[in-house]
Amino acid sequence: MSARRWTGRFRLLALALLVEGGMLFLACGLGYLFGCPIPDQLRLDANQVALGIAAAVPLAAGFFIMWCWPAGPLAQIKQFLEEMVRQVFGRCSFLELAVISALAGLGEECLFRGVIQTCAIRSLGVPAGLMLASLLFGLGHCITLTYAVLAAAIGLYFGLLALATGSLLAPAIAHGLYDFFALLLITHWLPAGPAGQNGHGLGKYGSPCEPGQTELPAADESGREVPASDGAYRPTSRLEP
């Protein structure tokens, strides 16, 4: 890897860590200020860890289905993620993605559920406080209207999990694992292909593609498509890892 590419990758990672870590520090400061200390809501417990892992499963399954078979406005969300997430995080290692995801889960849950939701429930009651925190979470992810609605629904899911467990540990773990799964799916496991591919790891004719591999027709010098002798299209390009 060239020094220039490494520098750009390091700056990206540092920016992501700064943003997500900044949310965590902000949440801790606001928590002490408003009487809801974050450390008191993050006590390590094996049951909470297990609940967090289990809670991430339906979210990951839903994202997988959306990614493989996008319908209606979900296709626009997938296009955005393909263009932006793969461009920004495509060169990150598994470890780097794991660190970013863990900080995102921890920082966002501490801020939105640990501080905002707790204070809103104190002032407005459980239903209104839960909805307000979820709506603010959705607005914080307002890429498209559909994306914001889905984010608000996921925020409500995390909020209910926090209320049910009385802790931020389970939603933070579920959030981090979900983000990690989504980033891996987009950048490493099921990369997007060119027009004509179905976008879920199968080529145009249903043949498996390796991560980063696309199936394109061969072409002669004039640029015309020339199929292989057996009529099948061969993988002709591979994205740089």
What does the pLDDT look like over 173-199, one tens digit per residue? 999 999 999 999 999 887 554 433 444
The whole-model pTM stands at: 0.77
pLDDT of 16 reads 80
Contact 118, 36 (CB under 8 A): yes
Among residues 159, 179, 143, the alpha carbon closest in space to that of 20 is found at 179
* Structure tokens, 126: 């459980």
pLDDT of 3 reads 58
pLDDT of 181 reads 97
Among residues 150, 141, 136, the alpha carbon closest in space to that of 74 is found at 150
Q: What is the C-alpha separation between 214 and 154, in angstroms, rounded?
A: 32
**pLDDT cut 90: percent of the chain above it:** 59
Q: Using pLDDT thresholds of 50, 70 and 90, give the confidence band for residue 131.
A: very high
Average pLDDT, whole number, for the chain? Answer: 81
Backbone CA torsion sign across 184, 190, 193, 199: negative
Lowest-pLDDT range, 46-55, 135-144, 161-170, 217-226? 217-226
pLDDT of 4 reads 59
Give the residue-averaged pLDDT of 202-211: 34
Given a cut of 70, whether residue 6 has pLDDT beyond it is no
What amino acid occupies position 76?
Q
* Structure tokens, 177: 């694992």
